Structure 1
Amino acid sequence: MFTAAGLSTALVVFFARMCDVGLGTIRHAMIIRGQRLMAFSVAFCEALIWVYAVSRVISSVSDPMTSLAFALGFASGTYVGITLEGFFKIGEQVVRVFTPYGTEVACSLRDAGFRVTVFDGQGRDGVVNLLFVQVRRRQAAKVAALAREVDPECYIVFDDIRGADTVRK
């Protein structure tokens, strides 16, 4: 039935699979953001771990606990990878703020050190300003909070940036 060796193999497979799928999720984020070398490095580690996990499952194919651990590790790795990617917040975003109080919101953001570009537009209810703010992902929530302090009803959109060509002075 259940042996100590079978249980330890299942635990190793579970953790190996959780690691390789978690790395796969992070690798996808690196690919989307155009970070080739990082994606390459992560893919190499991911493949090594995957080969190890699969070899353990194949060598213990008669033990359903190992196969179950493989599947559970896959599901857990997806969760872990998404959580880690959200924690590290790798990359940059454009925060777009739609508000009739563009001047005030822009001043607040600029006072906090953010670079803001303002466009005038016409919305359903009249004049509206569109503010573009390019920031690191970990700063996007701060931009939104500052904008909401000035206009609690502003509409905010977050866009991931794959690449940008900027000149900074």
Structure 2
Amino acid sequence: MSYILSDPFFSWVVLPMLIFLARILDVSIGTLRIMFVSKGQRMLAPILGFFEVLIWLLALTRIMQNLSNPMTYIAYSAGFATGTYIGILLEEKLAMGICIIRIITRDRANQLVKVLRAEGYGVTFLEAQGNLGKVAVLYSLIKRSDIAHFTEIIHEYNPKAFYSIEDVRFVSQGVFPARRRVIARPLRKGK
């Protein structure tokens, strides 16, 4: 075993690659942990935190044992940067949580409301006074995974509408469309 650890190929290629992969994993887990904390999922966050720190300690231990190898420093830093990027991609892909979309428009608001409601979205419609006259203000709570579909509808039926999107931490009630796709079906239908 000591022969493998003292081999130059291991020290200069394999070890830095392992450190790089460990950093990608621990930083990605850290990004997900922060996401789960912000979404109020308190049970999963500590478990992810445990594995995040365990992997970090293993990587750091290997660096401390190889202080004369600059490739481990580069691998550690590159793993951090890559892990941050991958963590962001994972967070976007999971698209967990609820958001509120606020739409302000001066024309064709009724048609947009009808289409959104027909798609299963809950929409609150208000008449308001804007800078340039009367406007319609629409509010809708949607799942983050539905943002692309929802904004496509806005662009199709009211392309000049102004809208903003914000994350929502907690919702007591709401009208949400049924799932559009089934990822996995149960193996049995019941007892």
Q: What TM-score, normalized by structure 2, do the two folds share?
A: 0.83
Q: Deviations over 1:122-155 (max 9, x none)?
A: 1111111111111110101111111121110101
Q: Counterparts of 1:93 and 1:13 in 2: how far apart (Å)?
A: 37
Which of structures 1 and 2 has the larger relative contact order (alpha carbons within 8 angstroms, sep 6+)? 1
> Do 1:108 and 1:147's aligned partners in 2 also have CA atoms closer than 8 Å?
no
The equivalent residue for 1:5 is 10
Q: Counterparts of 2:145 and 2:99 in 1: how far apart (Å)?
A: 9
| Greater displacement, 54-63 / 36-45 | 36-45
Paired letter, 2:149: K
Q: Counterparts of 1:128 and 1:167 in 2: how far apart (Å)?
A: 24
Q: What TM-score, normalized by structure 1, do the two folds share?
A: 0.93
> Do 1:13 and 1:53's aligned partners in 2 also have CA atoms closer than 8 Å?
yes
The equivalent residue for 2:149 is 142
The equivalent residue for 2:158 is 151
The equivalent residue for 2:73 is 67
The offset of 1:90, in angstroms, is 1.2
Q: How many pairs are equivalent? A: 167
The equivalent residue for 1:79 is 85
Q: Does 1:133 align with 2:157?
A: no
Structure 1 residues 27-46: aligned runs within 5 Å: 27-46=33-52
Q: Deviations over 1:23-52 (max 9, x none)?
A: 111111112222111222211111111111
Q: Which blocks of at least 5 consecutive residues in structure 2 are unaligned?
A: 1-6, 176-191
Paired letter, 1:127: K
The equivalent residue for 1:47 is 53
> Do 1:109 and 1:115's aligned partners in 2 also have CA atoms closer than 8 Å?
yes
Q: Which blocks of at least 5 consecutive residues in structure 1 are unaligned?
A: none
Q: Does 1:57 align with 2:63?
A: yes
Q: Counterparts of 1:77 and 1:44 in 2: how far apart (Å)?
A: 17
> Identity over aligned residues, as a percent?
32
Q: Counterparts of 1:107 and 1:38 in 2: how far apart (Å)?
A: 39
Deviating above 2 A after TM superposition, structure 1's stretches of 4 or more consecutive aligned residues are none
CA RMSD of aligned residues (A): 1.5
The offset of 1:167, in angstroms, is 6.4
